[in-house]
């Protein structure tokens, strides 16, 4: 991450922490407000409102990925195609995570599919928005840091515990460690 000012790195990390805490507090607030309806749902952290909030956050994340695609095409068509390809591959996992969170949080299949379509259309809308607006240089780390905080929260509080819940195996454990090593290697190579 040479060339990126220290202030931007610190601010992006602060936004990551802010995103993590924002979605943590948002989830807990929804759970507390709905505690009177069904105590079991609160204890298990499975509630439709949490699923909808997660899908909307994924849609926001996907919209920003679309902005990345559009901005990359403004730099060069080759870069645009490379970023689009990477985002498409990444969004396959986002789609699976979105559906898992929606169904896990007790939404119907029809509701989940509708929200998944919103997440799927969001990058297209984000890319199209770059035809009208240009992101100020230096602002993207703030947006990405905040949404990274959300993804970190969802991964740490929902996806990872669910993966290790009932069918935990040595394979699941190895994939978790391999994912952490891969993330470390990629960030080391980039930095």
Return d(Cα 152, Cα 61) in angstroms, integer. 12
Positive/negative CA dihedral, 59, 179, 102, 154: negative
Looking at residue 121, its pLDDT comes to 94
Looking at residue 103, its pLDDT comes to 78
Find, among 158, 12, 141, the residue nearest to 99 by Cα. 158
Looking at residue 187, its pLDDT comes to 64
Below-70 pLDDT ranges, the chain: 1-4, 31-48, 135, 137-138, 140, 143-144, 147, 158-159, 162-164, 166-168, 186-191
Prediction pTM value: 0.56
CB contact at 8 A, 158 and 101: yes
**Total Cβ atoms within 10 A of residue 6:** 8
Return d(Cα 2, Cα 108) in angstroms, integer. 47
CB contact at 8 A, 31 and 45: yes
Q: How far from 88 is each of 84, 100, 130, 176, CA to CA, in Å?
A: 6, 19, 18, 22
Q: What is the CA radius of gyration of the chain?
A: 18
Looking at residue 124, its pLDDT comes to 93
Looking at residue 137, its pLDDT comes to 65
Structure tokens at 101: 């969170």
Q: How far from 76 is each of 7, 45, 64, 71, CA to CA, in Å?
A: 28, 45, 18, 9
């Amino acid at each position: 991450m040479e060339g990126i000012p220290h202030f931007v790195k610190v601010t992006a990390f602060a936004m990551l922490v802010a995103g993590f805490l924002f979605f943590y507090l948002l989830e807990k607030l929804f759970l507390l407000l709905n505690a009177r309806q069904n105590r079991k749902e609160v204890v298990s952290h499975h509630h439709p409102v949490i699923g909808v909030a997660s899908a909307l956050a994924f849609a926001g994340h996907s919209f920003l990925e679309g902005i990345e695609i559009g901005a990359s095409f403004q730099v060069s068509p080759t870069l645009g195609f490379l970023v689009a390809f990477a985002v498409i591959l990444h969004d396959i996992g986002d789609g699976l995570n979105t559906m898992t969170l929606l169904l896990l949080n007790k939404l119907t299949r029809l509701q989940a599919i509708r929200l998944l379509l919103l997440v799927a259309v969001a990058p297209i809308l984000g890319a199209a928005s770059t035809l009208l607006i240009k992101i100020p240089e230096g602002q993207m780390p703030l947006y990405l840091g905040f949404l990274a905080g959300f993804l970190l929260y969802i991964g740490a509080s929902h996806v990872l515990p669910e993966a290790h819940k009932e069918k935990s195996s040595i394979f699941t454990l190895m994939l978790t460690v391999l994912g952490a090593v891969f993330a470390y290697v990629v960030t080391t190579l980039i930095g």
